[in-house]
Amino acid sequence: MNWIQHQDVVTQENDEGAFLLHMQSGIYFGLDEVGKNIWHQFKTPTTEALISKYLIESYNLSEEDAKQDSFEFIQSLKENNLIVER
């Protein structure tokens, strides 16, 4: 399944992370620096496997931890309508 940033989400970034605001629902979501870097991956359609690979390569996570973290992050973004299936 491919996911991409929802078109109604506005992003404000700073050195410590990012804040996401879904304009239709008013949902406000904060990200730390790692979350912000993962959020960038959703600018183009991406998959859970690609996010896991990114975490392994960028943060030296084990495959198991990367899969779990990417799954949880994507679930959270989906639940808050911040990403959409593409």
Give me the half-sphere count of Cα atoms (radius 13 Å) on the Cβ side of residue 85: 3
Kindly list the domain boundaries of the chain, sorted by start residue: 3-80
What pLDDT score does 27 carry? 93
Helix axes 48-59, 33-41, angle to 10 degrees: 140
The pTM of this model reads: 0.92
Query: pLDDT in tens for each of the 86 residues of the chain?
Result: 999 999 999 999 999 999 999 999 999 999 999 999 999 999 999 999 999 999 999 999 999 999 999 999 999 999 999 999 99
The architecture (CATH level 2) of 3-80 comes to: Orthogonal Bundle (1.10)
